[in-house]
Each structure stands twice: as C-alpha cells, then as structure tokens.
Amino acid sequence: MASNELTRRDMLTVAAVGTGALVGGSFSSEVASAAEPAKTGSGMMDISLRVNGAEHRLSLDPRTTLLDTLREHLHLTGTKKGCDHGQCGACTVHIDGRRVNSCLTLAAMAEGAEITTIEGLGDPDHLHPMQRAFLEHDGYQCGYCTSGQIMSATAMLKEQWGESDAEIKEAMSGNICRCGAYKNILAAIRQARKA
Amino acid sequence: METFTFSRAADPAEAIMAGAAASTAQQGAEVRFVAGGTTLIDLMKLDVETPKRVVDINRLPLAKVERAPDGGLKIGALVRNSDLAHSADVQRDYPVLSEALLSGASGQLRNMATTGGNLLQRTRCIYFRNTDTPCNKREPGSGCSAIEGFNRNLAVLGTSEQCIASNPSDMNVALTALEATIVIQGVQGERRVPIGEFFLLPGDTPNRETVMQPGDLITHVLLPPPHPGARSHYLKLRDRASYEFALASAAVVLASEGGAIRHARVALGGVGTRPWRSPEAEAALLSKPATRATFAAASEAAVRGAKPYSQNGFKIELAKRCLTSALATATA
Ligand SMILES: Cc1cc2nc3c(=O)[nH]c(=O)nc-3n(C[C@H](O)[C@H](O)[C@H](O)COP(=O)(O)OP(=O)(O)OC[C@H]3O[C@@H](n4cnc5c(N)ncnc54)[C@H](O)[C@@H]3O)c2cc1C
Ligand code: SF4
Ligand code: FES
Ligand code: FES
C-alpha cells in the first residue's frame, strides 16, 4: 500500500484485506507480494488522461498503473487498492462506460479514453441513485470495498444480466467485501435498478 | 516491476516488427504485446514477466466478430471476453463458448480480457508466480517445486517430470471442443494453426507453451460452421461458486440421430497441462445411445492414464463426474 493519505480506518482495513480477504479461494496464497510499489526509473512518459470529464497532462513512469495514477498523482483516493492483482474489485472504475480493474491497467493504456471514478459518479449534494441506495440500505461496514462495489454495480446494470438475485450475485462476484455486507449490497442494487 | 519502454502499434506490421526483435516469444520474452493486460501486468508486478518493451496492440482493427464465408465464425484477437460471450452468433451457434467465457474471472476482467490474451494466459501454479521458488517453467533447470509441494490445483493429464502446471483457461477448453483454428500473422506471413497443435506438452521444456515465435501476432480465431443439430455445454467445478479457476471442467458438443450419438467432441479443463481434448471419450460415445452408462464409460476413458500427485488425486474422480454431468445436460 503506497498511499500517504490513508486514514487509520483505511489502514486497519487494508491490513485485513491484505491478509485475509481471499482465504477460501485458491488465490489466497498468491496475494503475498501484492502491495509492493513500483521501483522508480528514469524514462518518464508524457500521458494525457481524461478523468471525470477533466483533461490531465502527466509525466509518468510507464510502469504506473491507472490505479496508482488516480490515487498518487491525481489524488482521487476514492478508488481503493485491495489486492493490486485483479482479485478483489476495490479498484473498479469505468473506462468508456465499462467497468474494469484499474490495478491491471497501465495509465498509458487508458490514454484517449473517458475514465470515470467514484468522484465523477456523484457528490454529496448530488448523489448517484446507486450511492443513495447504498446509503439507505447500509451496503457496507468499513466502506473500503464500497466505491468499487458502486462503480461495478452502476456499470453492471447496463450489461446483459437477468433480473434474479442469483444473476446480480454472479454479476457482482468480481467485488469482494471483507466485511461480508453482501446482503445489503444486493438490496441496494435491487433498489437502484428500479430507480 | 522492471522498467520497460511503452509504445502503441498503429498497424499489425508495426507490432510484428517490434515483436520480432525478441529472442523468444515464450517465457523470458524481451518484447510483449499488451491487450487486456490482465495476465501480463499481473505477472510483470510479480517480476515473472520482465519485458524490456511493451507494445500496446489495443488500437489494431481486430475487435470484430464476423460470420465467415463458410458459415463459421471469425473472431478478432481483440474481441473482449464479455463481448464474445454476449455475441448473438456465439449464443445461438456456439453456446458452449459463451458459457465457458461467462464462467471465467469476473465482470470487470472479462471486459478487459481479449481472445488472443486468453489463449496465452499463464498457469496459476503458485511457484510459477513466486520468483523466490524453483520453477522449471519460469527458470528452466531450477526444478519443480509443485511436484512435492502445493499441487492441489495442478494437472493430472499430460504432466512430465519437469512440470505439472495446469492450463487455467475456460475459453480454451470450449475452443478445443469446437475445433478452433488460430490465425497468426508473423514475419513470414500468415499461418493457420489448429488449436490441437497450438499448445505444447511440457515434456522437458515447460518454458515453451505454444507454437508462438518472436513477432507472431494472433489476429483471429476461426470456428468451423456449427455441426447441424449439435448441442453443447460447459460445466465448471471449483472451490467457490464464482470468480475462481476450475478444479475440473468439461466442454462437450454432441449430436444424436436415430437414438445414437453421431458426433462427439469432448475437452477437459483444469486437469490438463494444455486444454485437454479427449479422443478416447469421443470414441466411447460414437454410435452409442445417449445414456448414463455411455457417459460413465466415456468419462472413464477420458481419465485413463491420468497421474495423481500428492494433493490433486481427487481431480480424477471430479473430472469424471464433471464430464458425465456435462454430457447428461447436453443431451437432456
Ligand atoms: C483474478 C483473476 C481471475 C481469473 N479467473 C479466470 C477464470 O476463472 N477463468 C479463465 O479462463 N481465466 C481467468 N483469468 C484469466 C484471464 O481470463 C486472462 O488473464 C485473460 O483472458 C488474458 O487476456 P488479456 O487480453 O488480458 O491478456 P494480456 O495480459 O494482455 O496478454 C497475455 C499474453 O498474451 C499476449 N498477447 C495478447 N494478445 C496477443 C495477440 N493478439 N497476439 C500475440 N500475443 C498476444 C501478451 O503479450 C501476453 O504475453 C483470471 C484472471 C485474474 C487476474
Ligand atoms: S508445476 Fe510447472 S509451473 Fe509449477 S513449479 Fe513445477 S515447473 Fe513451475
Ligand atoms: S486492487 Fe484488487 S482488483 Fe484491483
Ligand atoms: S470490505 Fe468492508 S464494507 Fe466491504
């Protein structure tokens, strides 16, 4: 975990996610070296990124992932780092309206695309219906996975899935919640879908 | 992660030229194309892949699913797994492929993962992914940590004394049952490789996994026209209900006429060192009635010669049950 802005609450959650989030699946033994930061190199790259409607010109090490760019360079820390290996969904953002894992995307690969993060979805005065539904249904405990859950859920509703709870659960399986708030997450998504 | 230079290929020729500068297209390649990045970036973070040059191929015009003149399907290498799974042609004519794709990874990963990248995804053997441990696939001659170690998720078919890594892909199993052809553009022009010849057995060189050569760019995957009247199914068994690799899986394509099976294609996943076509199971099905007894005999034939290791012997029974069940579903 390379961020300097983490709150204590975040830190506690990160520790929990880092050690136990995936136990039970065969991923568990693979998470060990997850949060190692990229070594800094000399060859920087000029990259323009369009995030939440605003254009940003950045000089980045080509190794920088979209996730680290959002958090460390653009200070959009709503997007979270859980595993850094595609195994948890905490880093979910939209690229051209589709949900992806920003931890496995290089910033350079996202040049020219429309990137949306949780900060671009809504703000406290103008919540997105999915954000409101998560609030109303208590779709979280610690909140660490929540931005990823919400980004995943809003994009998922535009994909080809059926109406049943089983379909929602399957469609949302790429977002692990260490706190196990799945029941309320499901209720929130059901409500937002009707909105 | 090691440093690399990043560039974007404007056309296939540029990608091929960049790739051709590498000494190998197998483990240790100095040049790598990046498509979805879900295998490559993951392994670069682990220092298992250390390319000096990464070429982004996402802008190449290879993202279409088209009907082929012979009635088959021509799938671009950059078609995302989610788009392929939801393509109307695939859902109608090759449902086994749609089922296999949707059983893999997660909604986010399928939006990123491409047809070409999925073909070339790497094993999930934990020692391959950990540079602190010996692994013949990653570092030829260093030894195999898995044979005496954690091998619960590894192969029982096609293994060697050098490596028992399983091919983890779901898509590849369906493509094997569908007898897909891989179209490769290389420095010497185009080659068409049947999927049965695309993947190599580990033997003494587990670092070599496919027929890919430096510069080779997968441009398309071709599916033959659907077999008339055939029904197909993909069944995947795993440790949790979703977002998990297969312990055992089966892709089957079957057609019956006059009470007997007239066409049978069978492939297993999760249990083989490559996507595992089973001509033995197919022979045991042909001309037989579609009954539970026939399916059990075919499943027995499919795992004949399977070799259990310290933790993965259960996969032999699991694969049999998986195949029997998939055959029953496809003919129900
Ligand atoms: C957490 C997690 C869970 C997963 N679960 C599953 C699962 O359950 N089932 C499953 O089947 N898969 C699963 N996967 C694997 C996933 O399907 C693959 O990572 C994905 O299909 C790879 O495609 P990509 O486009 O992202 O490949 P990339 O990472 O971009 O590329 C992979 C390799 O292929 C090469 N390459 C890519 N395109 C071409 C081309 N056109 N020509 C030549 N070379 C090319 C690259 O150079 C690289 O070496 C999982 C992955 C993760 C991270
Ligand atoms: S099974 Fe293959 S990939 Fe795994 S440690 Fe042995 S040689 Fe390496
Ligand atoms: S941080 Fe876990 S999937 Fe990206
Ligand atoms: S991980 Fe704590 S709310 Fe999901």
Residues B194-234: tens digit of each pLDDT: 999 999 999 999 999 999 999 999 999 999 999 999 999 99
Provide the 10 A C-beta neighbour count for residue A38: 17
Q: Does residue A2 register a pLDDT over 50? A: no
Q: Whole-angstrom distance between the N-terminal and C-terminal Cα of chain B?
A: 50
Beta strands in chain B (DSSP E): 5-8, 31-34, 53-56, 65-67, 73-76, 181-186, 189-194, 217-223, 231-237, 248-257, 260-269, 276-277
Instruction: Work out the average pLDDT over A160-183.
Output: 97
Ligand located closest to B204 CA: 2
A83 touching B (Cβ < 8 Å) = no
**Pairwise CB contact (< 8 Å): A100 & B112:** yes
Residues of chain B with pLDDT under 50: none
Examine residue B24 and state whether it is found in any structural domain, yes or no: yes
| Chain A residues lying within 8 Å of B2, measured CB to CB | 39
Q: Does residue A130 register a pLDDT over 50? A: yes
List b or e across A119-147, with b for residues whose CB sees 16 or more CB atoms inside 10 angstroms.
Answer: bbbbeeeeebbbbebbeebebbebbbbbb
Task: Give me the CATH number covering residue B10.
Answer: 3.30.43
Domain residue spans in chain A?
Answer: 65-105+114-194
Q: Does residue A137 register a pLDDT over 70? A: yes
Rounded Cα distance, A189 and A131, in Å? 10
Q: Hey, what are B114's tokens?
A: 């491409």
Q: Which of B42, B54, B56 has the CB atom closest to A104's CB atom?
A: B42
**Pairwise CB contact (< 8 Å): A99 & B5:** no
Comparing alpha-carbon positions, the chain A residue that sits nearest to B3 is A41
Q: What interhelical angle do A146-156 and A129-137 show, nearest 10? A: 130
| Chain A residues lying within 8 Å of B153, measured CB to CB | 26
* Higher per-residue pLDDT: A126 or A34: A126
pLDDT of residue B171: 99
Rounded Cα distance, A80 and A100, in Å? 13
pLDDT of residue A134: 98
Q: Does residue A38 register a pLDDT over 50? A: no
**Pairwise CB contact (< 8 Å): B150 & A29:** yes
Instruction: Work out the average pLDDT over A59-86.
Output: 98
pLDDT of residue A195: 77
Examine residue B246 and state whether it is found in any structural domain, yes or no: yes
User: Within the 99-158 window of chain A, which residues sit less than 8 Å (CB to CB) from chain B?
Assistant: 99-101, 104-106, 108-109, 152, 155-156
pLDDT of residue A24: 33
Cβ(B286)–Cβ(B255) below 8 Å: no
**How many A-B residue pairs are in contact by the CB < 8 A criterion?**
112
Examine residue B292 and state whether it is found in any structural domain, yes or no: yes
pLDDT band at A37 (very low <50, low <70, confident <90, very high): very low
- The closest-lying atom of ligand 4 relative to the alpha carbon of residue A16 is 1
Q: Is the CB of B116 under 6 A from ligand 1?
A: yes
What does pLDDT average to over chain B?
98
Q: Is the CB of A174 under 6 A from ligand 3?
A: no
* Overall number of domains in chain B: 2
Residue partners of A96: CB distance under 8 A and separation at least 6 = A113, A114
**What sign results for the dihedral spanned by CA atoms B39, B42, B44, B48?**
negative
B10 touching A (Cβ < 8 Å) = no
pLDDT band at A42 (very low <50, low <70, confident <90, very high): low
Q: Which of A33, A100, A108 has the CB atom closest to B6's CB atom?
A: A108
| Chain A residues lying within 8 Å of B124, measured CB to CB | 26, 30
Cβ(B98)–Cβ(B104) below 8 Å: no
Q: Hey, what are A166's tokens?
A: 């089983």
Ligand located closest to A145 CA: 4
Which residues constitute the domain of residue B13?
Answer: 5-56
* Higher per-residue pLDDT: A31 or B26: B26
- What residue owns the CA closest to ligand 1's atom 34? B117
Pairing of strands B248-257, B260-269: antiparallel
Which of B33, B56, B79 delimits the end of a domain? B56
**Pairwise CB contact (< 8 Å): A65 & B41:** yes
Examine residue B305 and state whether it is found in any structural domain, yes or no: yes
Q: Does residue A27 register a pLDDT over 80? A: no
Q: Is the CB of A82 under 6 A from ligand 3?
A: yes
B245 touching A (Cβ < 8 Å) = yes
Q: Is the CB of B164 under 6 A from ligand 2?
A: yes
A39 touching B (Cβ < 8 Å) = yes
Rounded Cα distance, B161 and B206, in Å? 10
Residue partners of B196: CB distance under 8 A and separation at least 6 = B176, B179, B277
* Fold exhibited by the domain A65-105+114-194: DNA polymerase; domain 1 (1.10.150)
ipTM over 0.85? The verdict is yes
Q: Does residue A15 register a pLDDT over 80? A: no
Q: Is the CB of A129 under 6 A from ligand 1?
A: no
